[in-house]
A and B are shown apart, each in its own frame.
Chain A
Amino acid sequence: MSSRRPASRQPTAVPEEHATNGQRNSISLGPNDRLVGELYIEGDLRVSGTVEGNLEATGDIEIAGGGKVNGDVTAYNRLTVDSDASLIAGDVRVARLTVADGATFSGKVSMGKPAKKAPERTAAPAPEPVPEPVVEPVAVAVEPAPEPAAVAAAEPVAVNRAKTARPAPAKKSFQKGKRR
């Protein structure tokens, strides 16, 4: 059993939209290779090493030999887990799935239509920030206006009445005293 077979590198049918140089893109991780993180590939992926993270491929994913994958796996076409390989996943979204006897496999498997989650996220951003700036300038403009108006109106009236009230009886008393 050779660890590397050329089968996955020579896909039989290559759709033209996936082809770059007449061949589909392909990544192979050997037994001593390790990937930590997230990988998206337009093409095929073959894992014989260790992957900690999420994988997404537009073609096939093969977990071969002693390959170990710990993370979500999405294959638009086909996922193969060989007998010595291990896949511990949260979500597995694939069109076709092959698991060999002896493989370690766990996770939530979804096969078929992959477009369920997309429409849920587009709904309802919050409309709150619109009324806040409208309310604030109105309250600020109304509040200071009556205070100076009341003070300005009250003070001159009181002063005018006091000035006009004082000389009036004095004039009357002088006039009365002069006439009598």
Chain B
Amino acid sequence: MDVQEATAEGAASAENGEVKRDGKKQFSMGPQDVLEGKLIYDGSVHADGRLEGEVRVTGNIDVANGAQVKALLEGSNVTLKGNVEGMVTARDKLTLGRNARLSGDIQVRRLQIDDGATLNGNVRMGDFEQQASGQ
């Protein structure tokens, strides 16, 4: 888990959209890229451009400033700086940056909302495994 957190930040130089950092995979989108559909990925995702559908990753999800996302997002650490519509699950921490706009229900263990962010939705906080098994 420590290794995954270490790979979260940093602009990855794209090689076919996939870059390895410290042995962990990262799927990286550029501002002109479009992804529609379902992505289940053993690694981290840097989302930019337009993303629609569903993204479930074992690592972190990072939505760039200016990105347009209509998707279900699930990851360890989720950092939003762009426009997101859909349910978000962060097994560890969800961060809404100052330019983030999120409309959708969120389920998190930890939550940080920076001043300037916009949130519309239901917030559930607690131990992730207990809430998931309870449903």
Contacts and interface: CB of A to CB of B under 8 A. Distances in A.
Do A and B share a complex? yes
A101 B112 CA distance: 5
Interface size bucket, B side? Answer: 10 to 19
Interface size bucket, A side? Answer: 10 to 19
B72 interface: no
B6 interface: no
Nearest to A101: B112
Interface in A115-163: none
A70 to B, nearest CB: 14
A101 B119 CA distance: 16
Contacts, number: 45
A112 interface: yes
Most buried by B among A101, A106, A108, A112: A106
Contacts of A29: none
A110 to B, nearest CB: 6
A115 to B, nearest CB: 15
B116 A96 contact: yes
A99 interface: yes
B111 A109 contact: no
A16 to B, nearest CB: 25
A101 B93 contact: yes
A100 B124 CA distance: 16
A103 B96 CA distance: 14
B114 A98 contact: yes
B110 A97 contact: no
A99 B113 contact: yes
B123 interface: yes
Interface of B: 93, 95, 110-126
Interface of A: 78, 96-112
16 contacts: A78-B115, A97-B113, A98-B114, A98-B115, A99-B112, A99-B113, A100-B112, A101-B111, A104-B125, A105-B125, A108-B121, A109-B119, A109-B121, A109-B123, A110-B120, A112-B120
